[in-house]
Copies of this chain bind each other. A is one copy, B any other.
Amino acid sequence: MSGQSGVGPSEPRKPELEVGLNAVILAVTAHQPRVLTVGTQELGEDFFGMDTWHLPPALPFGSFDEKNDRTLELCMRRSVLEKTGGELGYVEQLYTFADQGRDPRERAGGSRVLSVGYLALARERDLSQAENSSWQHCYRYFPWEDWRGGRPRIIGDIESALLDWSHGSAERRERVEICFGLGNAGWDAYQVLERYELLYEAGLISEYWTDRGRDDDMPADELPSDGALGEAMAFDHRRILATGLGRIRGKLRYRPVVFELLPPTFTLLELQRVVEALTGLRVHKQNFRRQVERAGLVEGTGQRSGKTGGRPAELFRFRRAVLRERRAPGMATLQGARRSGN
């Protein structure tokens, strides 16, 4: 295997390798999935030698301090606590990237940057709003992922652009069909990252052009992004967000993670709305309730909810005992797009 990295000249040196953390912090409020973002302005105007006022929002990020952080996860929790004053609940590691050129600090003569992505779930009000950070509607960045109102219009354009792109290559064509459910399989909500990467490769994502144009210092506002294919994020953060959204959609199927996003008690419709927000799919109300109850995921509290808009609903809570009783306690069957509403 490769040897130790060489020892460079010993003057006002920079470390050769830095480790950064990026957090996808998700919450669901008002029936919408939201992600915590920070403005890149806070980095200072000349950070990375770029005019950051033109940079789109970024995921919260921090540096791993090998002197003081015992583990990566503790570093994550500390960073978020310092920034927002809120404690994180559920945290899971997503992915580690070290791709050459993914961080602009490299280009500016800095050291190679390795980035560890994390996914965290929060109840929005648990994280008090910090300076420069805000909750953004997730589907701003992935309009094609929200099927709750039926098949998104944009998918039609995407399909023709991709089929055009794949013209002549059976392999490309197969990828397009699999990712966007053009075959018999239908839409698979889980494949968020696969779809994003396909669109990126096909040049339909504005970051693709930003990344390529970097060396020309092309100003961001001249790039071909009209928002129809989703708004941009800074660096590769949109890709990390796609990883996170895909992960949570997958996990929903076999782990009771939804409850991390809900208050201790909730109505079944509230639960349903959170699931729908995350999966981007509508579910059948009655069957959903039956499945959730039969699966033993929740138990009623005697109380009823006040403001439902209609008949008061019973308040439920997560039933921990389900972990002992079922092998994969999740919303396993909510896998594909449905036709009918309700």
Contact = CB atoms under 8 A, between A and B. Distances in A.
A10 interface: yes
A280 to B, nearest CB: 15
Nearest to A1: B62
Interface string A53-71: 0000000111111111111
Contact of A61 (B1, B79, B93, B97): B1
Interface stretch (A142-150, A155-163, A180-188, A259-267): A180-188
Contacts of A190: 328
A127 to B, nearest CB: 15
> How many monomers of this chain does the complex have?
2
Interface residues of A, number: 65
Given A5-B18, A5-B63, A65-B5, A71 B98 contact: yes
B70 A5 contact: no
Interface string A101-121: 000000000011010100000
Contacts of A186: 327
A323 interface: yes
A1 B83 contact: yes
B71 A99 contact: yes
Count chain B CB atoms within 10 A of each CB in A5, A67, A320 and give the residue with the most.
Answer: A5
A19 B114 contact: yes
Contact of A17 (B15, B79, B178, B188): B15
A172 to B, nearest CB: 13
Instruction: State the majority secondary structure of interface residues on A.
Output: loop
A207 to B, nearest CB: 17
Contacts of A79: 1-2
A6 interface: yes
Contacts of A301: none
A185 B2 CA distance: 46
Given A1-B79, A114-B114, 17 more contacts: A1-B62, A7-B14, A7-B15, A10-B11, A16-B66, A16-B67, A17-B19, A66-B111, A66-B112, A71-B100, A93-B95, A174-B324, A185-B327, A186-B327, A327-B335, A327-B336, A328-B335
24 contacts: A1-B79, A1-B83, A2-B63, A2-B69, A2-B78, A5-B15, A5-B18, A7-B15, A10-B10, A10-B11, A10-B13, A17-B19, A19-B98, A66-B111, A66-B112, A70-B100, A71-B99, A93-B96, A114-B114, A177-B324, A183-B324, A185-B323, A185-B327, A188-B327
